[in-house]
Structure 1
Amino acid sequence: MSRDRDTIPVTILSGSLGAGKTTLLNHLLTGAGDRDIAVLVNDMGDINVDADLVSQNTDLAVDGGVTELSNGCICCELQDDLETAVVRLARDRDFDHLVVEASGISEPRPVARLFTTGSQAAARYDVAAVVAVVDARQFHDAFGEAGAAARRGETDDGARPLSDLLVEQVEFANLVVLNKTDLVTPDELDAVEEMVRALRPDAEVVRTEQSRVDAETVFRTRYDPATADEAGWKRTLEEDAHDHGGEDTAHDHAHPETVYGVTSITDRRRRPFHPKRLHAFLADLPPTVVRSKGTCWIATGADQSYTMGQAGPSVRMTAAGPWIASLPEFEQDAYRRNRKNLEWDAEWGDRRTELVFIGRGMDEKALVAALDDCVLTDEEMTADWDDFENPFPTETGAEYVVVEPTMER
């Protein structure tokens, strides 16, 4: 699809930790039709798990994968990196639409401001849509008892609750994707939509499970001029500029760790987990862990890599495919030639665990110690791994639910 203007439309995806942004992004890439889509993914931890999950669905991004900005949020300390990345994309790549997936602790306002207020990026892009992906269960748990969604301000420890970020993301959106509707009752879902519409009356609201949204609903190449002038996100930016006397406020923003008390813990290791002990650990994650995700090496005997994803009370494990090191040597060589940044161990090849835990008030020492208890002992390393009790799937693509919230209808 050729562009009819010099500027490139950009869609900004925001949403809470684990709301379903990456799943939505993958749906957009597979349903893009004749659009050429470039992607930029931001993740809070220093392992960009989301970038790995979407890279297989686009061949347009920088360096053979998606453009990724890690270990921070693009709404503050990575703002300059974001501008550099999108300007480079516009200069070096020919594509029709840019999708920016912000991390779950990023506020959408500073991200949209970059594309609208006198920057190099603003000269090359137009904001086409700001999408908020809302976890319906999480939203109802946060505001359902009160019957209205509102900011609560600082807590006793001086940080703002994450529910304030939910409000910020919805208020700034012009499209709200109410996701995980299967985890709430019909009455609860109606209540969530009513609260969302009270926050952003003119936004389009779509209900969905597994972030399954028609790509045409999300890809808005341009608004009609009259509609664009009235878009909620645009009015908010204009109000910001008026309140600050027209000054650029792109960096007038606090780090989310300070504002919301959110931190991340990264765990890397080259020894596999015992499947039964890892299952027990994942089934009883501390409530301070809001979101966790990554790649696991599990001693299942199948030599499969596994992708773990946790959002609140929901924990799932997916058999992602064989380790490259388990393939015939000629296939290993081909993969390694095409993936120059692949970390390769002399003994174990690409077999490894890389996990990121995101939350508030997490006890890092206790968490790492619990993971240490899950790895194989020296004696278990030499045992037959097929003999271990294993609840996880061994067929590529199969998903296993470790924990899922129950709901009475």
Structure 2
Amino acid sequence: MADAIPVTILSGALGAGKTTLLNHLLESVDERIAVLVNDMGELNVDAELIAEGGSAEGVAELSNGCICCELRDDLETAVMRLARSREFDGLVVESSGISEPAPVARLFTTRSKAAAVYDVDTLVTVVDAAGFHDLFSGGTSTDRAEVSEGGTRPLSDLLIEQVECCDVLVVNKCDLLSPTEIDEVEAVLERLAPGARIVRTEFGAVEPGEILHTGLFDAEAGARNALDSTDGDRAGHDHRHPDEEYGVTSFTYRRRRPFDPDRFASLLSDLPAELIRAKGSFWVAGRDARLRLGYAGQIARVTAGEPWIAARPAVERELYRENHPDLEWDDEWGDREQALVFIGREFDEEALIDRLDGCLTDDAAGDGGPFPDEGAVEFGR
């Protein structure tokens, strides 16, 4: 968009070094940058630190909430107020450690007042290299953080979503790891976000051009789809990739038969310890909802989505198919299918496929077992 103010959205886990990076950026950049900082507490410490530095053209703060959900309207108000009261060349939005970047980006890409003034330029995720290595290379974690009233979510699952939905990965605190360990971290990150640019840093010292005015954000592409990134895309290469050297592999599991709910629930509670990530959609006997899987940190979270097209009333089903001629349709099962991707380090792919196949059934009837028609459930060790 001509004359629109470019926006860099800065995400990352708690303690990854987002504020340190932002302060370094403001001190080194040769242009006018405004900043919006979101913090979960009532006291916005990050905003105070940035304001004290005095390098930002303007600092707005949102406290005691998450800008990707309950503070969305406040976010729009804040960025519009900045645009009216200040002149600046770019905006950096530092989201809280439990925010997802995609919903924040949507504010600037959908029909809104902000979208008329701003244009998303880059989604940046800051990764604590040492913490990531401990979590996904050297160990596991089941730490959790509240994200909605009455519900919990694995921090590791949120961290991976921040990684998967980005244009630039800033691997920070590299001084805490050996070169081999950093290579291991990057091998996992490359598998999780194959299209992202990776930048190594210490103490958040990143060059401005790495995260400002990159033009890397693609609104049409949206979040990366790991289902399109499998081992098959390396065919024909004559050299070893980091993911091969460090044992990071992935495969996509697709089937047209339903899962037996009890057998699949048992599998989700006992996935291989070497598995880093699993995601996608699936269906179980006795449930009409398309179920979505997100697995990280040895916790599998299953969320119920909209009903499969095949499970909808005949008139609605046929109308949908007429309007979507490219929809893949099976004569017996309709659009229902298993479409899951699994990413891990040195795990037995064939053994897991055999276990998944062992969960399949020819009978689509049933009680759905522990899987929801709405809401979410979790499985873990």
Query: Structure 1-normalised TM-score?
Result: 0.50
Q: What is the rounded CA distance, in whole Å, between the counterparts of 1:134 and 1:94 in structure 2?
A: 31
Do the aligned residues in 2 keep the contact of 1:179 with 1:211 (CA within 8 Å)?
A: yes
Contact kept in structure 2, 1:174 and 1:233, CA below 8 Å: no
Tell me by how many angstroms 1:91 deviates: 2.3
Q: Cα distance, 1:234 vs. partner?
A: 8.2
Within the candidate set 137, 140, 153, 1:144 is matched to 137
CA contact (8 A) 2:35 2:56 kept: no
- Give yes or no for the alignment of 1:217 onto 2:210: yes
Q: Cα distance, 1:185 vs. partner?
A: 2.3
Query: In the alignment, is residue 162 of structure 1 matched against residue 162 of structure 2?
Result: no
Question: 1:115·1:127 contact (CA, 8 Å) conserved in 2?
Answer: yes
Relative to 1, partners in 2 of residues 1:60 and 1:142: Cα closer, same or farther, differing over 3 Å? same
Instruction: Tell me how far apart the structure 1 counterparts of residues 57 and 204 of structure 2 sit (CA, whole Å).
Output: 23
- Secondary structure, counterpart of 1:170 in structure 2: helix
Q: Which residue of structure 2 lines up, in the alignment, with residue 49 of structure 1? A: 45
The alignment status of 1:71 with 2:64, answered yes or no, reads: yes
The residue aligned with 2:178 is 185
SS of the residue aligned with 1:160?
A: strand
Runs of 5+ in structure 1 lacking a partner? 237-242, 244-409
- Give the TM-score, by structure 2 length: 0.54
Residue 10, structure 1, aligned to residue 3, structure 2: no
Give the 3 Å change call, closer, same or farther, for CA 183–96 of structure 1 in structure 2. same
Report what 1:20 is aligned to. Answer: 17
Describe the SS at the equivalent of 2:152: coil
Aligned with 2:126 (options 112, 119, 133) = 133
Distance in 2 separating the partners of 1:153 and 1:211: 25
**What do you get for the CA RMSD once the two structures are aligned?**
3.1
**Residue 36 of structure 2 is aligned to residue 40 of structure 1:** yes
Confirm or deny that 1:96 pairs with 2:89: yes
Distance 1:19 1:222, change over 3 A: same
Percent identity over the alignment is 60
- Cα contact 1:14–1:107 (8 A) shared by 2: yes
Aligned residue runs from structure 1 range 355-374, under 5 A: none
Once the 2 structures are TM-superposed, how far is the Cα of residue 76 of structure 1 from its aligned partner?
A: 0.9
Distance 1:89 1:59 in 2: 12
Amino acid aligned to 1:73? C
Q: Conserved in 2, the CA contact under 8 Å of 1:136 and 1:184?
A: yes
Aligned to 1:171: 164
Residue 111 of structure 1 is matched in structure 2 by 104
Q: Is the 8 A contact 2:174 2:200 kept in 1?
A: yes
Deviation, 1:230, is 7.0
CA contact (8 A) 2:164 2:224 kept: no
Could you list the per-position Cα deviations for residues 187-225 of structure 1 after superposition, in whole angstroms to 9, with x for gaps in the alignment?
Answer: 2211110111101111100111101111111111635xx
Q: Is the 8 A contact 1:202 1:232 kept in 2?
A: no
Alignment coverage as a number of residue pairs: 224
Distance 2:33 2:88 in 1: 6
Does the aligned pair in 2 maintain the 1:128–1:221 contact within 8 Å?
A: yes
**8 Å CA contact 1:174, 1:231 repeated in 2:** no
* Structure 1 residue 116 displacement after superposition: 0.6
**8 Å contact from structure 1 (residues 173, 232) kept in 2:** no
The structure that is strand-richer by fraction is 2
The verdict on how the C-alpha distance between 1:199 and 1:232 changes in structure 2, with shifts beyond 3 A counting, is farther
Q: 1:216 to 1:57 in 2, by over 3 A?
A: farther
CA contact (8 A) 1:38 1:58 kept: no
Name the CA distance, whole Å, in 2 between partners of 1:234 and 1:85. 29
Structure-2 separation of matches of 1:86 and 1:26 = 19
- Report the CA distance shift for 1:198/1:232 in structure 2 as closer, same or farther (over 3 A): farther
Question: Residues 39 and 234 of structure 1: is their aligned pair in 2 closer, same or farther, counting only changes over 3 Å?
Answer: farther
